[in-house]
Structure 1
Amino acid sequence: MSVNQAAGVTGLRQRLSLLGIAGVVALLGLSVAGITMGAEKVFVISWVAFAAMAVGAWLGGRTAETNPSRLVWGYGLASGAMITSAAMFLLPQAMGLGQTAGSPRLGGIGVAAGIAIGYSAHTISHRLTHVDVSFDVTTLEITAHALSAGLIIGLVYASMPGLGLLLGLAIVSHKGPAGYAAARRLSRADKSATALLLPAAGVGITAIPMALLPVPQVPAINAVVFGFAAGIFLHVAMDFLPKCEAGSEIDEVVQLQEGAHHLLDELRTHAVASTIVGVLAVVAAWGLL
């Protein structure tokens, strides 16, 4: 092998993430089991989540600079869709199951627990960004989030197989903008965006096995489960609301361009509009399906 060929192979290995490839292989294997054992809905949701993050990461990796308008609209659409989905499909289910079990407050307990745990996990994990570690913290955070989201999605669909695809698809809609933003951060750090294949596959890696497990049909437990899922996803959705304030991710991107202050003011309007469109899109889809 020539020196140039050896350098090419080394460069390819550096550009490819073995963990990312392993994640895709795991998702493929679990997908076969999911289809065989009747978890078609979770299978579809898992691959939509994978495709959304993979495409977002691909776009982010190929772009020379981050487009703030694209980022705002991606975050706004996703957060609006997630908030509406949690409010329309998970909260009523949690309260209804709680009512069946004797008190709708059981669902409320789950919501409170989901928001509190989601916030706590997010806040504590942020401390890793200030620690000198050998692995990429951005990829680790997104992977942990994807795996936990998959667990909840799988549990929800295992508990209530009659749920439609709309809930799951709206929940994973944020994977696209998340992949785009993460790929931009990795590119600025001169790291390979293929590492994001692992969190892209993460939803399916945990959702499919969880959906195949037997879940006891106990209204009190299911009320807390659905409330917890609603709380977690509401926290994630609120975290994804496009923040056009000083020190925010969008502000950091805008500061690299001319007329930063005027552009940031303009993006606030886009942030509101995109979130409203995300809300209306889910309502419209629910009305049509």
Structure 2
Amino acid sequence: MVTSAALFLIPQALGQHGRLGSLGIAIGFLGGYVGHTIGHRFTHLDLPVDHTATELTIHALSAGAIIGAIYTAMPSLTSILGIALISHKAPAGYAAARRLAERGESVTTLLLPAAAVGLVALPVGIVGISPGGELRGLLFGVAAGVFLHVAVDLLPECTTGSETCPVDAADHDVDVHQLQDRLRRHAALSSILGGVAVVIAWSLVI
């Protein structure tokens, strides 16, 4: 996701409007952090909805509005934005589905957040909103900032054994330190391979 933001979104944001693109990156990053932090408070409430699905839906709705506006304004960039979107949504969806499966819950609750991007992006595209260069730079910047926030938020989860993702030795037959080291190596390798895959996709569409 860091690679996607760096190759696909940040150059477009700064290319459309340097100052507003930079501002958009800051707004997206800080807005993602604030929204995630405030949204975490709802996990302590007994609501009749899955908290993970709700957070993903809210994020997808806002992303859909940005994507719809960008598609309408710059249709030539659809392949670039599409690859950036897939590289972001695929791992997030997999992680959410795996978490639900481990808890014995149905993954069908993820259908709404999966469709939320299209539910908002399509109406925005049909209306034909065509922002100017300043607003396009801001939109790309916000999208890049959100991507970077999600990536930075996920990085601690990759280092299993940290405070954010502890490992209980009682749940495993092997030494917990060996398990932590192995999982960290897997996380590092996955990050490298994911970055390389995005670079290859970038080289094909640019």
Which has the higher Rg, Structure 1 or Structure 2? 1
Q: Aligning the two structures, in what range does the TM-score lie when normalised by the shorter sequence?
A: 0.7 to 0.9
Alignment partner, residue 140 of structure 2? 226
Aligned mate of 1:274, from 186, 190, 194: 190
Cα RMSD (Å):
2.3
1:97 correspondence with 2:23: no
1:38-67 C-alpha deviation (Å, 9 max, x unpaired): xxxxxxxxxxxxxxxxxxxxxxxxxxxxxx
Counting aligned pairs with the same residue, the percent is: 50
Q: TM-score, normalised by structure 2?
A: 0.85
Deviation of residue 255 (structure 1)?
Answer: 6.3
TM-score if structure 1 supplies the norm length?
0.63
| Match of residue 40, structure 2, among 126, 134, 137 | 126
Alpha carbons of 1:168 and 1:245: their partners in 2 closer, same or farther (altered >3 Å)?
Answer: farther
Q: 1:150 to 1:248 in 2, by over 3 A?
A: same
> Is residue 117 of structure 2 the alignment partner of residue 194 of structure 1?
no
Alpha-carbon distance change, 274 to 196 in structure 1, aligned in 2, over 3 angstroms: same
Structure 2 unaligned spans of 5+: none
Distance in 1 separating the partners of 2:83 and 2:66: 14
Residues 248-267 of structure 1 deviation map (CA, whole Å, 9 limit, x = unaligned) = 34x35886322232111112
Closer, same or farther: CA 233–254 of 1 in aligned 2, 3 Å? farther
* Superposition pairs of residues 99-248 of structure 1, within 5 angstroms: 104-241=18-155, 242-248=158-164
Q: Give, as a single letter, the amino acid of the residue that structure 2 aligns with 1:257.
A: H
C-alpha distance in 2 between matches for 1:253 and 1:199: 31
Taking a change above 3 Å as real, the CA distance of residues 255 and 282 of structure 1, as seen in their structure-2 partners, is farther
Which residue does 1:16 correspond to in 2? none
Which runs of 5 or more residues in structure 1 are unaligned?
1-81, 99-103
Q: Matches of 1:130 and 1:92 in 2, distance apart?
A: 39
Contact 1:94 1:225 survives alignment (8 Å): yes
Q: 2:9–2:140: 8 Å Cα contact kept in structure 1? A: yes
Q: Is residue 88–residue 147 contact of structure 2 (8 Å, CA) maintained in 1?
A: no
Choose the corresponding residue for 2:6, options 84, 87, 98: 87
